Amino acid sequence: MILLDGKKIASEIRAELRDRIDALKAQGKRPPCLAVVIVGHNPASETYVANKIKACTEVGIEARKIAFEADITESALLAEVERLNADSTVDGFIVQLPLPDHISESAILSAIDYRKDVDGLTPENVGRTVQGLPSLVSATPKGIRELLSRYAIQTEGKHVVVIGRSNIVGKPMAMLMMQRPYLSLPGMSASSLGDATVTVCHSKTRDLAAICRTADIIIVAAGSPGLLTADMVKEGAAIIDVGINRIDDPSSLRGYKLVGDVDFEHVSKVAEYITPVPGGVGPMTIVSLLQNTLQAYNEHP
Ligand code: NDP
């Protein structure tokens, strides 16, 4: 069994990014700039935002945090999005989700200029990804593609099962895996894997286990601890665990521990490749955001 060490690969990519950004600065150019908009005080969102800002700073990307109280109106937030769209010193920005109930997430996301949409969530970017056009790809699927690529796990002709159909993980993941690799287009990563036969599963899927047993690669993004068990996995398969779930753990100081969607202990005995949680997909997601920021900077200086 080979552990797909996202922490190690993300650290290698951060070093590569740091070198590229140092080279830009040595040429007298300004560094790339990412703005992060956060609304309210959701503790998980505050942690994610802090981690993103720290990761930017480590590679030399300028990070700006823009915080609003939870009672900001939708129109005021839209005005901020328009301001960031027009700010030529900002290469990319994200609006941390979830937003308070009185604000429509889709209205906010749709207002972001797709060239600055480093989360890859605008309808324009999603559509461009579907059509194989240069685009900013959603961070988690992009990170998973990069992880597979760096471990030389081929996807061509393979059966990839994606469990989960969310807009941020499942759908774009399935799209990347089924796509023809459009390597010749500018802006596409050299790691454009694809050419797989893809099955997307969700909570209404019948006999998930039987479908999974036919998979060469299983990507689980369900948010359901222990969903993928060893009897659902073909010997030699590659398993990518996107899930992040808190479960009670009285023996830990925090009182909980983080686990994925995969029964790691048993599945790791059957699989050839597997990601740990934490330390697998999570670090790759953050590093993809940094890559997208540099891509936005390079394509629209
Ligand atoms: P969503 O809740 O938006 O989507 C979950 C999907 O899984 C849905 O499509 C749902 O089906 C499906 N699903 C849930 N339970 C089952 C089941 N028992 N069998 C089959 N399908 C099921 O979640 P996200 O995509 O946003 O996130 C998924 C997980 O990944 C979460 O744990 C999240 O925390 C984690 N995550 C991790 C990231 C990282 O960087 N590592 C980044 C983003 C997310 P249906 O559509 O029918 O409801």
Nearest CA residue ID for atom 41, ligand 1: 282
Ligand 1 atom nearest to 280, measured from its CA: 41
Looking at the DSSP bridge assignments, the partners of residue 240 are 219
Q: With a 6 A CB cut-off, is 204 part of the ligand 1 pocket?
A: yes
Domain ranges of the chain: 28-113, 138-281
From the CA of 203, how far away is ligand 1's center (Å)? 10
Assign residue 93 a region: left if phi > 0, alpha if psi is -120 to 50, beta otherwise?
beta
Contacts of 185 (CB under 8 A, 6+ apart): 132, 133, 134
The token pair that represents 39 in the structure block: 């609304």
Report the topology of domain 138-281: Rossmann fold (3.40.50)
Q: With a 6 A CB cut-off, is 140 part of the ligand 1 pocket?
A: yes
CB 263 within 8 A of CB 212: no
pLDDT at 301: 73
**What are the pLDDT digits (tens) for 158-169?**
999 999 999 999
Q: Which among 83, 185, 200, 88 is positioned nearest to 137, based on CA atoms?
A: 185
Q: With a 6 A CB cut-off, is 288 part of the ligand 1 pocket?
A: no
Ligand 1 atom nearest to 170, measured from its CA: 25
CB 99 within 8 A of CB 37: no
* CATH number assigned to the domain covering 28-113: 3.40.50.10860
From the CA of 21, how far away is ligand 1's center (Å)? 34
- Residue 228 CA to residue 222 CA, distance in Å, equals 10
Q: With a 6 A CB cut-off, is 244 part of the ligand 1 pocket?
A: yes
What sign has the CA pseudo-torsion 168, 301, 192, 277? Answer: negative
Which DSSP state fits 219? E
CB 121 within 8 A of CB 138: yes
Active site positions, annotated: 52, 96, 119
Q: What is the DSSP string of 147-178?
A: HHHHTT---TT-EEEEE---TTTHHHHHHHHH
Do domains 28-113 and 138-281 share one topology? The answer is yes
Q: With a 6 A CB cut-off, is 11 part of the ligand 1 pocket?
A: no
**For a substitution probing ligand 1, which of 163, 229, 292 has the most ligand atoms within 8 Å of its CB?**
163
**For a substitution probing ligand 1, which of 162, 212, 244 has the most ligand atoms within 8 Å of its CB?**
244
**For a substitution probing ligand 1, which of 166, 258, 259, 275 has the most ligand atoms within 8 Å of its CB?**
166
- Residue 160 CA to residue 252 CA, distance in Å, equals 35
pLDDT at 40: 97
Ligand 1 atom nearest to 261, measured from its CA: 32
**What are the pLDDT digits (tens) for 242-251?**
999 999 999 9
Looking from the CA of 142 toward its CB, the CA atoms found within 13 Å total: 25
List own/partner pairs for 260-266 with CB under 8 A and 24 or more apart: 260/220, 260/225, 261/163, 261/220, 261/221, 261/222, 261/223, 261/224, 261/225, 261/226, 261/227, 261/228, 262/220, 262/226, 262/227, 262/228, 263/226, 263/228, 263/229, 263/230, 266/229, 266/230
- Residue 47 CA to residue 204 CA, distance in Å, equals 33
Low-confidence stretches of the chain (pLDDT beneath 50): 184-191
* Average model confidence (pLDDT) across the chain: 95
Ligand 1 atom nearest to 245, measured from its CA: 32
| Bridge-based pairing state of the strands 2-3 and 273-274 | parallel
Q: With a 6 A CB cut-off, is 206 part of the ligand 1 pocket?
A: no
